[in-house]
């Protein structure tokens, strides 16, 4: 299961309006009403023309999966959430594939720890170190 942002839900709602309510039915069909295969989808959406015009060629449909993972992480998704939505067998698989997404979070973690310490109302009973000006 992949959670969808409201903007995507609204697009699907328009596409599905008037159809019988069948949760197992595909949300996107070919022009003839059948399953939409990758080759048909690329042709129907003029994929190759679109990616060239957008200046992102070569871009594969599978690259969109990586884009989703990157955007999910940037939106704060936990590693286990990304693993589950991508269907990986374990969070370790996801971490190995997307480990580069975590590099930018290291500074954020340090900043958040500083913020938690500064806002802490709980006394540890320890005298904090002082920094002397040279």
Give 50's strand partners: none
**What are the residue ranges spanned by the domains of the chain?**
1-15+24-57, 60-118
User: From CA 83, how far away is CA 77, in angstroms rounded?
Assistant: 10
The SS3 of residue 95 is: helix
CA-to-CA dists, residue 34 to 11, 42, 73, angstroms: 20, 15, 34
* pLDDT of residue 123 exceeding 80: no
> For 30-89, how does the pLDDT look when each residue is reduced to its tens digit (9 = 90+)?
777 778 888 888 887 888 898 899 988 888 888 888 888 888 887 888 889 989 999 999
Summary mean pLDDT of the chain = 80
* pLDDT of residue 111 exceeding 90: no
User: From CA 82, how far away is CA 89, in angstroms rounded?
Assistant: 11
Report which DSSP code applies to 132: P
């Amino acid at each position: 299961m992949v959670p969808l942002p409201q903007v995507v839900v609204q697009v699907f709602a328009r596409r599905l309006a008037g159809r019988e309510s069948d949760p197992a039915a595909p949300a996107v069909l070919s022009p003839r009403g059948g399953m939409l295969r990758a080759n048909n989808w690329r042709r129907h959406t003029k994929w190759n023309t679109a990616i060239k015009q957008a200046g992102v060629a070569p871009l594969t449909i599978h690259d969109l999966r990586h884009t989703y993972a990157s955007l999910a992480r940037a939106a704060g998704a936990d590693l286990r959430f990304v693993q589950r939505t991508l269907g990986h067998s374990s969070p370790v698989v996801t971490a190995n594939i997307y480990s580069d997404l975590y590099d930018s979070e290291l500074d954020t973690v340090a900043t958040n720890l500083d913020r938690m310490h500064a806002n802490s109302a709980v006394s540890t009973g320890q005298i904090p170190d002082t920094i002397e000006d040279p």
